[in-house]
Structure 1
């Protein structure tokens, strides 16, 4: 997924919520480590796991993945900070490595949580709920999953999402999972959740 295309998708699908919510949320606001059963207005599944505090990672999302975790994912390059429509992000450009992937992570404290994303699901041609390490998540994308691209959002609290947008290398050297890229996004977010829980 090119950076411009991902930014357009995020801006259209997620930042649309800023207009409706009046931009009232505070970026980086800490969450409490409690399990919540708050009611869903738009059909999102409830959070059945403890909320995870993302505040210390907002200034530097590259810290969401440790070197050992990157090694497990086959990523041999360092993340590069960048700006996205949702604030600070981190991108790993590993298309010319054996992993053959380009992906980015950020912490979405602006939309208002997974339920707000569910309220906008009609704008996404691809919508597939799932779980990541017990946390509710959804594949929300503007293209089918046979293009080597995927965006997965996981709810780590009732108000915070962590999205990963990835693009697998295309052409003659494309990886064998090019037609099914989303499991890669799930594996990346599993490692992110481990980091947020304080593991390694």
Structure 2
């Protein structure tokens, strides 16, 4: 199948409305409740924690996570399969899986959300944690298991309210390793998802 140059060989996109989740396997967030930050750290953001100026109500997308990306957007990503929705331990999920290793997954989770404050409180749990330029005013942080030049997967947390985030992740095919920063590629997917949110759906 065709894989677009921007996110060629995408292996996983994970959108999660819980801050403070990491991954052990592609597309599977791991609850950090076993090692939670102190309540003061998670609930009282410091000056560095960005605020969400225009909070989003994503209940519609939580009900239909497969509407997070339009057919046109998926085509731009080189994904032409039908999304499969299911209930995950963290909430509703949609996954588009193509031939070989390429897939796109979107996770919405509303359990225990503490927003960007918890993301920043948990920053030391990630080998790579870097704030990114906001998308349409929504704050972003990229996190990964290593520096982006050494890996094919990057997670980007998007602040949608001060109490919740959505996580979007991609894993590129191995032939893209070292050729394109996966965090930059993930940010482009974030732009697509935010566009869909703001438009009200697919």
> Structure 1 residue aligned with 2:80, among 76, 96, 105?
76
User: Hey, what's the Cα distance between the residues in 2 that align with 1:186 and 1:16?
Assistant: 29
TM-score by length of 1: 0.72
Contact 1:168 1:178 in 2 (8 A): no
**3-state SS of paired residue (1:182):** helix
- 1:112 paired residue number: 114
> Structure 2 residue aligned with 1:164, among 165, 168, 176?
168
**3-state SS of paired residue (2:199):** coil
- 1:134 paired residue number: 137
| 1:41-62 deviations in Å (ceiling 9; x for gaps) | 47311223x1111001112211
Contact 1:135 1:154 in 2 (8 A): yes
RMSD: 3.1
Contact 1:153 1:162 in 2 (8 A): yes
User: Hey, what's the Cα distance between the residues in 2 that align with 1:101 and 1:182?
Assistant: 17
How far residue 132 of structure 1 moved from its aligned partner, in angstroms, is 2.3
Change (3 A) 1:127 1:75: same
Change (3 A) 1:144 1:93: farther
Change (3 A) 1:43 1:109: farther
**3-state SS of paired residue (2:30):** helix
- 1:28 paired residue number: none
Which of 1 and 2 has higher RCO (CA within 8 Å, sep 6+)?
2
Please list every run of 5 or more consecutive structure 2 residues that lacks an aligned counterpart in the other structure: 1-10, 13-22
**3-state SS of paired residue (2:166):** strand
- Alignment length, in residue pairs? 175
| 1:93-119 deviations in Å (ceiling 9; x for gaps) | 2464xxx74332222323221111111
Please list every run of 5 or more consecutive structure 1 residues that lacks an aligned counterpart in the other structure: 22-38
How far residue 178 of structure 1 moved from its aligned partner, in angstroms, is 4.7
Contact 2:140 2:157 in 1 (8 A): yes
User: Hey, what's the Cα distance between the residues in 1 that align with 2:36 and 2:144?
Assistant: 19
Contact 2:65 2:107 in 1 (8 A): yes
Contact 2:151 2:178 in 1 (8 A): no
- 1:32 paired residue number: none
Report the structure, 1 or 2, having the larger strand content: 2
User: Hey, what's the Cα distance between the residues in 2 that align with 1:166 and 1:156?
Assistant: 19
